[in-house]
Amino acid sequence: MIDEARFRALVTAAAGTISSHAEELTALDSAIGDGDHGYNMKRGVDAVLGDLETIASKPLPEALKAIGTKLVMTVGGASGPLYGTLFLTLGKELAAAPDDLVLAPGDLAGAMAKAVDAVAARGKSELGQKTMLDVLYPVAEALGQNRGGAEIAAIAAAAAEGTRNLRAIRGRASFLGERSIGHIDPGARSSALIVEALAGALT
Ligand code: ADP
Ligand code: MG
């Protein structure tokens, strides 16, 4: 059951972890990109928090779409449109679910699977290319397997860590070729942080 209070708690938890890890995300992006991922994401979550009252008053699918739109408008870079697509698609898919307050686990898993595919389509990217998809796909799969929050959080954290050994094929890090190996992907790390925060706030 995701009522307004719980929705606020979830958004606040996700935004809080992004803000408190902004320096780390930017440092990861400095190693293999242009060093703006933490700032980009912090700008986005601050904008969402600034509008939280309006956003949280909407039905869940509309609230998710509003977050997506906000992220597209404020995050910028490659990650803004991609995170925007994720939340816009989650909202669109959940709008088709029977009840917007009582979420069946299958609703969320199905919506997440579609949303991650939409991110891949938007980024012309796939699993294994050292991007946020390397976290989002395993998380979608774990949701589909009805795993618990703690387990999903652990899967996300391990998946982000696993991007260290990958060579970047998409995004700015791909310009480094082999030299991208040995660093965690910033977008994978921000995705894992969000998933861990949401899982923590739900349990
Ligand atoms: P930019 O690369 O434009 O500076 P950010 O630094 O905010 O944007 O975001 C970089 C992150 O975006 C990467 O770490 C990666 O996870 C993700 N990313 C970049 N391009 C793609 C893509 N084509 N598909 C999926 N994710 C991508
Ligand atoms: Mg960057």
Residue nearest to atom 13 of ligand 1 (CA): 187
Q: Which of 172, 175, 193 to mutate to test the pocket of ligand 1 (most atoms within 8 A of CB)?
A: 172
* Ligand 1 lined by 22 (C-beta under 6 Å): no
For the chain, give the percent of residues with pLDDT over 90. 92
**What is the model's pLDDT at position 101?**
59
* Ligand 1 lined by 74 (C-beta under 6 Å): no
**What is the model's pLDDT at position 104?**
75
**What is the model's pLDDT at position 1?**
76
pLDDT tens for each residue of 168-184: 999 999 999 999 999 99
Question: Is the four-CA dihedral 37, 40, 45, 48 of positive or negative sign?
Answer: negative
Q: Domains of the chain (ranges plus CATH)?
A: 4-202 (1.25.40.340)
pLDDT tens for each residue of 128-150: 999 999 999 999 999 999 999 99
**What is the model's pLDDT at position 102?**
67
**What is the model's pLDDT at position 169?**
98
pLDDT tens for each residue of 80-128: 999 999 999 999 999 987 665 567 778 899 999 999 999 999 999 999 9
Q: Which of 71, 124, 131, 180 to mutate to test the pocket of ligand 1 (most atoms within 8 A of CB)?
A: 131
Backbone phi and psi for residue 170, each to the nearest 5 degrees, phi listed first: -130, 160
Query: Using 50, 70 and 90 to split pLDDT, how confident is the model at 161?
Result: very high
Average pLDDT of the residues in 193-198: 98
Contact 65, 49 (CB under 8 A): no
Nearest to 56 by CA among 7, 10, 129, 118: 7
Query: Using 50, 70 and 90 to split pLDDT, how confident is the model at 166?
Result: very high
Q: How many CA atoms lie within 13 A of 90 on its CB side?
A: 21
